[in-house]
A and B are shown apart, each in its own frame.
Chain A
């Protein structure tokens, strides 16, 4: 069965960095684009970044552009999110999510359990 397991969250001071990982199993990881989606406490879902299956294409939300970097290692079936210059606004649960192509569009068919990032002094 498909599993996505995030790790790397924790408490970090403003201005510092953190790297999240998402270990994938149960599907051909190298064939799918992958996303990071976050959710601040008590708030809705906010898309963060996407990476194509072959790492050629990467896109970011304006709120993280220039500070966050998405990457993947298909040999390790792992997705990453390098987060630099963190602010309190980045405090959230971070989910990795797999998309499924249906017709001409995509849907999130599997999500990880999330990892909590708390930015606080």
Chain B
């Protein structure tokens, strides 16, 4: 079973600054990785898929990188609406594997 580990658990950043979130897979997942954003009381929203492709309507300040076992989500200049929980996810043999999430706080 693939284990996705995100770090840090909580990241405190000021508006306008850059945020870097990490996700590590227990074995290589190639570029088959997605990032989701979840705000309180809302469903998750797809941000990035295939490690680096922004989903429809996602602002350019969100970028993803990495392959194999190490991945990064970067938010270049934080806006107030970006403070949320972020999850990475890999999909294999019919099932998804989620990281435990990184809470991005002000």
Contact = CB atoms under 8 A, between A and B. Distances in A.
Interface of A: 33, 35, 37, 44-47, 50, 57, 59, 61, 95, 99, 102-109, 111-114
B55 A109 contact: yes
A59 B96 CA distance: 11
Given A45-B38, A105-B91, A113-B43, 19 more contacts: A44-B87, A44-B98, A44-B100, A45-B44, A57-B94, A59-B94, A61-B95, A95-B44, A99-B91, A102-B49, A102-B50, A106-B91, A107-B46, A108-B36, A108-B44, A109-B55, A111-B45, A112-B43, A114-B43
Contacts of B50: 102-103
Given A112-B43, A113-B43, A105 B32 contact: yes
Contact of A111 (B34, B44, B49): B44
Which DSSP category, helix, strand, loop or mixed, fits chain A's interface? Answer: strand
Given A107-B49, A112-B43, A114-B43, A45 B98 contact: yes
Q: Chain B: interface residue count, which band?
A: 20 to 34
B87 to A, nearest CB: 6
21 contacts: A33-B94, A44-B87, A44-B99, A45-B101, A46-B98, A47-B96, A47-B97, A47-B98, A50-B94, A59-B95, A99-B91, A102-B53, A103-B32, A103-B50, A104-B32, A108-B36, A108-B44, A108-B89, A109-B46, A109-B55, A111-B44
Nearest to B85: A44
A91 to B, nearest CB: 17
Which 3 pairs, one residue from A and one from B, show the smallest C-beta to C-beta distance?
A111-B43, A105-B32, A107-B49
B95 A47 contact: yes
Interface string B17-42: 00000000000000010101010001
A14 B40 CA distance: 27
- B46, B49, B89, B96: which has the most chain A beta carbons within 10 Å? B96
